[in-house]
Structure 1
Amino acid sequence: MSFDGEIVCAMAFVLACLAAMPPASAASGEGGLLHIPSAASLAHCPSSCGDVNISYPFGIGAGCFRQGFELTCNHATQPPELFLGNSTTQITYMYDSGFVEAPMFFNVTSGSGTNNYNISWNTPAKGITISGAYNTFYAVGCDFDVKLFDNVGNPIGSCMSRCRGEVLPNQGSCNNIGCCFISLEQDISGFQATIVRADGMAERSDSVHPGIIASMANHYHAWNYPLPWTNASKLPGLLEFAIMDQPSCERAQTNKASYACATNSDCAIASYGGYTCYCNSGQFNPYLSEGCPDYNPEPKEQCLRSCGNMSIPFPFGLEDGCSGNERFQLNCTTGYRCNCSSGYEGNPYILDGCQDINECLAPNSCNGICQNTPGSYKCTPCPHGKEFDSTKRRCAISTKKRNLLLGTAIGSGCGLGSIVFALGVIVLANKWKKGIQKRIRRAYFKKNQGLLLEQLISDESATSKTKIFSLEELDKSTNNFDATRVLGRGGHGTVYKGILSDQRVVAIKKSKIVEQMEIDQFINEVAILSQIIHRNVVKLFGCCLEDEVPLLVYEFISNGTLHELLHMDTTVKCLLSWDDRLRIAMEAAGALAYLHSAASVPIFHRDVKSSNILLDDSYTTKISDFGASRSLSLDETHVVTIVQGTFGYLDPEYYHTGQLTEKSDVYSFGVILVELLTRKKPIFVNDLGAKQSLSYYFIEGLQEGSLVQMLDSQVLEEADQEEINEIASLTDACLRTKGGERPTMKEVEMRLQFLRTERLRKRQCLHEKDGGIEPLLCPEAKNPHKHMNIDNDAHITHQGMSGCYSLEQEFASSLFGMPR
């Protein structure tokens, strides 16, 4: 999948701009422009280098680029290669939206006895940034740990890869088996990475562990490019640029002579200083004088609409203000006069305007068969058996034969007419019925806030825009919402399995709601999901508003919900291992942390529960159901709302005050952690037969020292006491009554990540001491894919682990201030 093909996000068009480079680079400014040129003035400039197309403000040669945007084309290679100035940063693709692709690729060759490797990449000039929204750091190879920092040494994240003594996989996703990745949370201007071989791995044969390939890459390419990755051009990173001759739009606009944005374009402040330009409508170049044309859809009144015998339709026009824009303005001039030749008629001022006259249709002296010729006609006598009819001016048969033929024609005509009439009635009836259906669907579209939704998603890029499906398309995909296509039913509606025309399998949510407040919640869910692109958040393809109740179209998630796995059949012992429960909790926490802090605006889910945590075919976590979610502006810390949520998960502070904060989701997530530990429902029936809150039951048990008695038997079998105490301490922190005393979702995610890493390290220690351990298998499980993650985790070791000692353990304790 290309960058232009699959990005949902809702970003403004940003045209990338280079900062003023140091004197040693070719972008020092010599020959660079500091005014707005026209496309005609740049016609002599090179438009491409090899396979890469070039657009202004970038350019090659004096007068072809804006100051700070000079490029260099190396013709010594085949095909030629494009670079930023005289730097070593190569450009492999330029997008109209202002991003460029540049390989940030490292091939780390294994050496005998070598365990540590350091790699780094820094932007060649101020104003160039690595986009945090679209880039991910990947490392491909076997048995190593990676720690990633920004260019000033601040930690970004870590990951590890294990191959369990096997060779690098030939295909598959990046899931810690032969490959691992680290996501960025914000734009950076460079990075440093430390790669550490796991203990003893450096001494193994290079044929088994041939080396490590590391790359900062556009994750939209990486997700769809199969392992192993060996070609840097296949996985380039995504860079964005800013004009740095002024620090902001306001300062730049004070000097119109050097201001970079053309008429009808807008200016935006870049994250690292400087500014960028973009057009409000359409894909245009805001750095050219004609880059953002002003289209006038309404001409002034009383415009001249003809030139001679020729009509002039809008958007063309002859006078000022009478055309769509100046490019459609025409000029009408007079001189000599033209006439059609004899035997022709029509308009002599246009191409093929004079057409031949058919003299045989006009009165003439022909008493026989008339044959038209260009500019004239021919006349031949009537054939035998026919005579010339002077009134009708044609050859006709005799009266008897004419009457016979007339009767036959009348009979045939009546029969054919009856058929045509019947078909016409059917066609008109169908059109009338379709017209009524169309009007009804349009009325539902307006009632269901379709016009509002169109406005909410109008700012999204054309490639990632949320689609508004027609009801006809969804009827076809679900076989008219057949009962055999039902995936599940609930209090709010029914979910159907559908197959779209492009063969995508989707889940279609058909709500029961009819009240306006719930319709507004539906529109809210669409607007929020259209802004979110995250591997652990269910992807929204679009919606349909032409039915009485709205419909949502999601990606199809095959393995149901966490609630079903935990509570549907409690007699099955091992549907989820302890390793799977830790991983699911970590992935869900990461998705919620992304919603709270890494999304374009903070988003509070407001209905976090196990039934809204879906699992795909590889048991990867997907957060769903954003109908109750709320988004905040950047300067808000909370919102006051009508209390919504699910009993058993509802934050008591939110319930009493009505103030929704990010800590409300933390409390609900704490209840999910208790579910994973105890395998009890959030509201359950206790031994006395009374209904009881799971969160209060757990807190009371902790205070009374009866933690072990509350835990699921499988947790007691697979988890050690230190892990149980660690997760119980974290759960207790999440369930504190006062929101200010709870950790953030980011802190919860990191605490779970360290806990899971510590467990994997212990597994590796046992493996090294005992010569191998048996994985925890679940013979009772019915799903053939359920052991995938169990086997993976059982044989994976921790990053750079030496002597089985955890530096991360001390770091986590100091970071969160919680007892271990």
Structure 2
Amino acid sequence: MFADIDECKYPETYTCHGKCLNTIGDYECKCPLGMRGDGKRGCSGFGIITIIISVVVGVVGVLLLLIGGWWLYKITEKRKSIKLKQKFFRQNGGLLLQQQLSSSDQGISKTKVFSSEELETATDGFNVNRILGQGGQGTVYKGMLADGVIVAVKRSLSVDQTHLTTNVQGTHGYLDPEYFWSSQYTDKSDVYSFGVVLAELLTRQKAILTNESQERKNLAAHFVLLMEENRIFDIVDAQIKEHCPKEDVIGVANIAMRCLNLNGKKRPTMKQVTSELERIIQLSQKKDVQQNNEEADQSITAEVISARDDASTSITCSSFQVDQALSSSDVEPLVPFKTW
């Protein structure tokens, strides 16, 4: 009889790379879960803990990628939304509205512009129970602001997707901004539209500009902005700058700017516009006549001097030649009258 030894207690002597199990006269060594081979000689493969860690790391990595992708998507969508709002803001006369709000002489310093979210909240999501009335220009809702003030909110027909959308699109760029607030056309609305036409004539551009990036903006707003910055010739057509007097261009541009005033009461009447344009034309024609006369006088003087140089010593002959030159001179305007 011999005493059994517990080999598992002597790992230095009895090698085991896994789980040691004592047996009578010997011992067993099992590889860890997930690994294979003889535990006494060595195990191969990955242990369960290693596998679990790998799986956890992989799952966390995928989650981080998903969260990062979702975050980038939200940022991209938010930027697109901001750019789209800015685009619509410019297209619908937003720059002109800013000009009106910032002008101290407009008498609207207390005017506040509400966002679509604020109006939707005030009307409880444009609840049908809040409808005060409906008309040819839109639906009026009863609203309550955050400070408790009761207001009437008008939702235009273009938002309600009705036939008015087509009508407004047909005049987009020429439409009086006051129409969006009052839904009423007046004589001064025609003046505004004529101001857009004058801007088109001076710039030879359409009422809605489209740049290289296909971004659209309002010609009237851009025209007024350049006028305020004294940079109107940055947009005036090259041929007009070349062939038309600078003061005439500035005069017509000033008329156009007055027609594009956001405050309809401060726009001139069409009669005043016509009178101003006629005055510019008459002044331009007077300048042309004066210039033509000066050039004609210079031409006659040159002919007289030439006749004197070529005349004989006879006073009678010289006089005849000069008289003949003067009588036969057919003076024509050198520059035709300009018309605007």
TM-score above 0.5: no
Q: Of Structure 1 and Structure 2, which has the larger fraction of its residues in strand?
A: 1
Q: Of Structure 1 and Structure 2, which has the larger fraction of its residues in helix?
A: 2
| TM bracket (short chain) | 0.3 to 0.5
Say which one has the larger Rg: 2
